Amino acid sequence: MSLTIQTTDLRRRVRDVLERVKVKGETFIIKCYNMPQAVILPYEEYEAYQNWQAAQQKRTAWMGELRRIAEQVSEVAALSDQEAQKLIDEASTR
C-alpha cells in the first residue's frame, strides 16, 4: 500500500521518507495541492518496472511484425491460381 505525502511535508521529512523507502520498502505518492505529482518507490521496484516496460515494448514490436506477416500471407492467400503460378514461374527463373 502506498503512503501519501504533500510536497511541503516531504521537504521537511525527506531523509525520513527516503529511509523508509530504502529500509522498509514503502512507496510514497507525492502530492502538490492534493494532486498526485510523483511516486517514490524502492529502486528494485523501479528496475522491475523498467524491465517490464522494455518487455512490453518488445512484445508490441513483435506483434507489429506478426501483423505485417499476416497481412502478407493474406495477400498471397487471395491470389488466384494463375497469379500464384505466375509468381512461382518468375521466382524459379531467377
- Domain ranges within the chain, ordered by starting residue: 2-41, 45-92
pTM: 0.65
Report the C-alpha gap between 62 and 68 in whole angstroms.
10
What's the sign of the alpha-carbon dihedral 59, 60, 61, 63? positive
pLDDT tens per residue, range 1-43: 899 999 999 999 999 999 999 999 999 999 999 999 999 999 9
| Grid cell digits, residue 53 | 516496460
Say what percent of the chain tops pLDDT 90. 66
| Poorest-pLDDT segment among 13-22, 41-50, 58-67 | 58-67
Report the C-alpha gap between 57 and 50 in whole angstroms.
11
pLDDT of residue 90: 79
In angstroms, what CA-CA distances link 18 with 9, 12, 43, 55?
13, 12, 11, 29
> What's the mean per-residue pLDDT of the chain?
91
In the predicted model, is pLDDT for residue 64 greater than 80?
Answer: yes
Report the C-alpha gap between 18 and 12 in whole angstroms.
12
pLDDT of residue 94: 67
CATH of 2-41, one of 1.10.3470, 3.40.1620, 1.25.40, 1.10.10: 3.40.1620
DSSP per residue, 32-93: ETTEEEEEE--HHHHHHHHHHHHHHHHHHHHHHHHHHHHHHHHHHHTS-HHHHHHHHHHHHT
